[in-house]
Amino acid sequence: MTATTGAPKAGRNTGRDARRSALHAFLIAMCLLWLMPLFWAVYTSLRPRAETDRLGYLSFPETLNLDNYVTAWNQSEMARYFLNTLVIVVPAVLLVLFLASMMAFTVSRYSWRFNLWFLLLFTAANLLPPQVIITPLYRIFLKVWLPEDVLVPGFPSDTGLLYGQYLGIVLIHVAFQLGFCTFVLSNYMKTIPRELNEAAVVDGASVWKTYRSVVMPLTRPALAALATLQVTWVYNDFFWALVLMAGKGSKMPITSALNNLRGQFFTDYNLLGAGAVLVAIPTLVVFFALQKQFISGLTLGSTKG
């Protein structure tokens, strides 16, 4: 909703124009400063190591190529880690939106004993630092029996436990993001007129039918915004897989795996840049393609409705 039409032509005066120009200059400078770190990573990653060793990093390029990207991709089996991320992100986001929408539906569209307390409990849980629960969680993951990783049938379970497997990481993401999604969705569902529920009841619709065919279709904008946000957040998570898959690196998602890969990239900053940019690309695609959804997801959590 940003106005791009500019100031009205009438009533312009030079003092105001000068102020506008100063504002533009300031904002342009700030934006360049803000883009600099990413630009620098891309620039460094496009230059061969030999050249930067000879000319120094702060120099004009002689050659720019994608060699570092090819090396980073091949040397660290990145394809596998990206695939791991895909196996974790898709079910996690679908499941958390499904469960949170049901919870939000029951607390915001119906009134029952303690329903507001449940909403508060979910909201509180979403604000906890993950480290508060990690120790017992780690023990739970070591004590739940899981002979096969159900998310990828036939994929052998190397531990026989919830620990180190896709399903475990999916479940903790679902549990930890449930609070935020429930909070946002229940705020959104509150804005849908209650009369629609009553109309559905008069038509003889069951609770499930009301959820499926009346409330959910109207919640679609919030679901789209949340899905965008959740894909980014789950993709970006570093901590859960670091602890709950430690030592079982083969199923690690890309963001957590990058920390292990750093050993291979160590001191080769051109390669490190390429690796960082490669991992950032999916979220940057989300940023360019779904910026509006992402922003509305963030702001839905902070403003009512």
Partner 1 sequence: MTTSRARRHPLVRIATATVAVVVGVPALIAVGWVLLVLLIVPPVEVVTVAAIAFSALVVVGVTWLVIRSNRTAALTRRDKLTLGLMAGIPTVILTVFVLVPMVVSFTLSLTSWNGIGGLDRIQFIGLKNYTDLHSVYKPFYPGLIHNLTWLLFFIFIATPLGMFFAVLLDKGIRGTRIYQSALYMPVVLSLAIVGFIWQLIYAPEQGLLNNLLGTNEQGNLIDWLGNPDLNLWAILVAASWRHVGYVMVLYLAGLKSVDPTLKEAAAIDGANERQTFFRVVFPVLKPINIVVIVITVIESLRAFDLAYVTNKGLNGLELLSTMVTNNIIGETSRIGFGSAIAVVLLLLAVVPIIIYLSRSLREDAA
Q: Is 273 within 8 Å of 104 (Cβ atoms)?
A: no
Residues 60-89 that bind partner 1 (CB under 8 A): none
3 near partner 1, judged by CB under 8 A: yes
Residues 191-220 that bind partner 1 (CB under 8 A): 206-208, 211
27 near partner 1, judged by CB under 8 A: yes
User: Smallest gap, in angstroms, from Cβ of residue 297 to partner 1?
Assistant: 10
* Residue of the chain from 22, 50, 120, 199 that contacts partner 1 (CB under 8 A): 120
User: Smallest gap, in angstroms, from Cβ of residue 273 to partner 1?
Assistant: 6
Other C-beta atoms closer than 10 Å to the C-beta of 252 total 24
Stretch that binds partner 1, among 8-16, 84-92, 126-134, 213-221 (CB under 8 A): 126-134
Q: Amino acid identity, residue 34?
A: W
User: Smallest gap, in angstroms, from Cβ of residue 209 to partner 1?
Assistant: 10
Beta-carbon contacts of residue 253 (< 8 Å; ≥ 6 apart): 81, 84, 85, 88, 89, 169, 235, 237, 241
* Residue of the chain from 136, 154, 156, 263 that contacts partner 1 (CB under 8 A): 136
Q: Is 107 within 8 Å of 118 (Cβ atoms)?
A: yes
Q: DSSP H helical segments within 191-268, as ranges?
A: 195-202, 207-209, 216-218, 220-236, 239-244, 254-265
Distance CA 292, CA 295 (A): 5
Residues 227-266 that bind partner 1 (CB under 8 A): 232, 235-239, 242-243, 246, 255-256, 258-259, 262
How many residues sit in the footprint of partner 1 (CB under 8 A)? 111
* Residue of the chain from 92, 151, 167, 171 that contacts partner 1 (CB under 8 A): 171
Stretch that binds partner 1, among 1-9, 83-91, 148-156, 218-226 (CB under 8 A): 1-9
Q: Is 87 within 8 Å of 166 (Cβ atoms)?
A: yes
Residue carrying structure tokens 């390669």: 271
224 near partner 1, judged by CB under 8 A: no
